[in-house]
Structures are given as C-alpha cells and as structure tokens.
C-alpha cells in the first residue's frame, strides 16, 4: 500500500473556482491528481491518496481511509471512539499547519503592537 497526504489550500486562487462551487472540491481534485501521478504503480500497489483541505474538508478517499484506520485502531485497543479521536488529531494537525503558514507570512521588520 502507498498513501500520499496533501493539504491543499481552500483559498488558493487556483482552487477558488472549485471550492466556491463544491465543499471539499480542492481535496477531491488533489486526490485525483495523486491518483494520476501514481497510476504507473497501480498494478503493483494499492494507492490511497489522502487530501484534507486547510479548512478541514476531506476528500472521499481520505475520509474512507481514516475511517478504516480508526476502525482498526478501535479493534486493537477496544476503544470504540478511536476513529473519532484520530479525526480530531488530524484536525488539530491541520490547524497547527495553518498557524505555521500564517505566522510565516508575518514580516519580521514590524515591531509588535503594544496595547
């Protein structure tokens, strides 16, 4: 199995036409792009493209994969909430990535504003 994660920006100019019309549209497009990229490996491996947008929308493949993974964790641990916890952890990771991206755009030459 090969899985490849990507987190497309919901508000990127290249995605706006898709995301304005369809929730999760950028994630779906990213999953299609990953499938095309790895198509030559399809005869040898099972490919799972995993795309979750910066605002948290999952692609179809990502939603199914995380659900199956959570179910396996639940069977192994006996905790039926494992899939929910996994989705929460992924959500926190995406939010942290958003913070890093936003903070990375801050100009260092600007002094902090004191109130």
DSSP the chain: -EEEEE---TT-TTTHHHHHHSTTHHHHHHHHHHHHHTGGGTTTS-EEEEEB-TTSPBPHHHHHHHHHHHHHHHHHH--TTHHHHHHHHHHHHHHHHHHHHHHHTS-TTSPPPP-
pTM, full prediction: 0.83
Distances in Å between the Cα of 74 and the Cα atoms of 4, 9, 65, 115 are 23, 31, 14, 49
State yes or no: pLDDT of 109 exceeds 60: no
What confidence tens digit (pLDDT) does each residue in 4-32 have?
999 999 999 999 999 988 889 999 999 99
State yes or no: pLDDT of 41 exceeds 70: yes
Average pLDDT, the chain: 91
**Tokens 């990502």 found at:** 62
Give the C-alpha separation, 28 to 62, whole Å. Answer: 9
Name the residue ranges covered by the structural domains of the chain.
2-96
């Amino acid at each position: 199995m090969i899985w490849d994660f990507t987190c497309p920006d919901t508000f990127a100019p290249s995605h706006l036409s898709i995301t304005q019309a369809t929730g999760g549209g950028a994630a779906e497009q990213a999953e299609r792009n990953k499938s095309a990229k790895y198509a030559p490996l399809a005869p040898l491996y099972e490919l799972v493209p995993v795309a979750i947008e910066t605002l948290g929308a999952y692609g179809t493949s990502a939603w199914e994969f995380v659900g199956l993974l959570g179910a396996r964790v639940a069977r192994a641990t006996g905790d039926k909430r494992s899939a929910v916890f996994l989705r929460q952890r992924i959500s926190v990771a995406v939010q942290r990535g958003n913070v890093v991206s936003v903070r990375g755009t801050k100009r260092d030459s600007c002094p902090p504003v004191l109130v």
